[in-house]
């Protein structure tokens, strides 16, 4: 039986060495965890880039389709307004007296509505 008595300084030195070893082991473990996490983030980023690019392309296509549809609708509305203006112009040139009478009647109706509305708003106060 080998019983060597250690001095308090030897015991303290062994405890310091054990603590240093524990710190070094913990530091290595933490560094490995950080490296693994960084690698996972890079993998996720690399894997998600195509999906993000596909989503961006789909959004861009949807926006372009919307712009094309708006342009088509605008052009169609412009043509219809031009046709209505042509028809109205022809009607006025073909029927000038009737056109004036219709315009006067429409103006009188609008004026009557405005007068009624203003009376009602005064009566409400």
Domain presence at residue 59: no
Domain presence at residue 35: yes
Give per-residue pLDDT as tens, 19-32: 888 888 998 888 88
What is the value of pTM for the model shown? 0.43
Domain presence at residue 64: no
Q: Structural domain of residue 35, as residue ranges? A: 10-47
Give the Cβ contact number of residue 102 at 10 Å: 13
Structural domain count of the chain: 1
- Using an 8 Å Cβ cutoff, are 91 and 99 in contact? yes
Domain presence at residue 36: yes
Domain presence at residue 24: yes
Give per-residue pLDDT as tens, 57-101: 898 999 899 888 998 998 999 999 899 888 988 988 899 999 899
Residue located via tokens 């960084």:
38
Domain presence at residue 23: yes
Note the Cα 76 to chain centre separation in Å. Answer: 29
Give per-residue pLDDT as tens, 40-67: 888 888 888 888 888 888 989 998 998 8
Domain presence at residue 15: yes
């Amino acid at each position: 039986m080998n019983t060597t008595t250690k001095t308090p300084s030897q015991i303290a030195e062994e405890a310091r060495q054990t603590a240093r070893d524990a710190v070094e082991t913990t530091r290595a473990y933490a560094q490995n965890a950080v490296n693994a996490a960084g690698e996972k983030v890079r993998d996720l980023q690399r894997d998600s880039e195509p999906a993000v690019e596909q989503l961006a392309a789909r959004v861009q296509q949807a926006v372009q389709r919307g712009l094309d549809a708006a342009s088509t609708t605008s052009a169609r509305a412009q043509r219809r307004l031009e046709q209505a203006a042509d028809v109205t112009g022809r009607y006025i040139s073909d029927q000038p007296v009737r056109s004036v009478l219709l315009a006067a009647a429409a103006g009188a109706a609008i004026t009557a509505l405005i007068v009624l509305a203003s009376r009602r708003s005064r009566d409400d106060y």
